[in-house]
Amino acid sequence: MIGFQTLFYKEVLRFWKVATQTLTAPIVTAMLYLLIFGHVLEEHVQVYPGVKYTAFLIPGLVMMSVLQNAFANTSSSLIQSKITGNLVFVLLPPLSHWELFGAYVLAAVVRGLAVGGGVFLITAWFAKLSFVAPWWIAIFALLGAAILGTMGLIAGIWAEKFDQLAAFQNFLIMPATFLSGVFYSIHSLPPFWQGVSRINPFFYMIDGFRYGFFGQSDVDPLQSFSIVAAFFAVLAGLAIRLLKSGYKLRH
């Protein structure tokens, strides 16, 4: 386990050494979202009975921060290592593909949860939140961070330039995140767009996470968990296969 522990420590230290950029900046961004949307819509929108819009918004912002930063950690690490040429120092030691996958994804989970926790601590002062089902909060936070960490790993393996990685993030990750119900309930959408939202796995992550706070959601949390877990299994299988084959890493 020494190799796994060393790579995990290296990945955590990598984002921790620039905490202003990797931790503080996304927390400030989420705070701005809350101040703007909460101020404008607080008196005009009530998604769930008895739940103010600001309270509804906070879990969405927390989960959005978890997802985006978990993806950023693995994807940026791999593309930087490729471009600077130091990826060879990760590939030379006798690390198995399981150890590589575990270390990269676990470090992404740590960063995602650190940012999400920071967002929650800052934004929770603005609304009264309940914790109806804390186990669902933990389950969806961990699974969501692991999924986006795995997606970041796949993107980092595939991309050869920063603009390719930016395209992956701007045309896939960002739209899927913003169209997942962070700022609204899908029941407020026309039927066509409700159907579109239901094929977005990010929606189930955020909806299940929000259920843990209010005990209310657009979809049954067991259904959301099943879809999210299956999505993670597929992505993990693909990422491990890419690492095992050395695709765009060893060749």
pLDDT attached to residue 251: 64
pLDDT attached to residue 121: 93
How many Cα atoms occupy the beta-carbon half-sphere of 120 within 13 Å? 20
99 token code pair: 């150890």
Domain ranges in the chain are 2-245
pLDDT along the chain (251 residues), means of 10: 92 95 94 85 72 88 95 95 90 92 97 96 86 94 97 95 91 88 83 87 95 90 96 97 91 64
Q: Which residue has the tokens 């692991």?
A: 146
How many angstroms separate the Cα of 216 from the Cα of each of 59, 177, 189, 196, 209? 12, 20, 18, 21, 10
pLDDT attached to residue 44: 65
pTM (two decimals): 0.93
Q: Which residue has the tokens 């119900």?
A: 181
88 Cβ neighbours under 8 A, 6+ residues apart:
none
Secondary structure (3-state) at 237: helix
Q: Which residue has the tokens 């259904």?
A: 223
pLDDT attached to residue 186: 82
DSSP 186: G
pLDDT attached to residue 50: 77
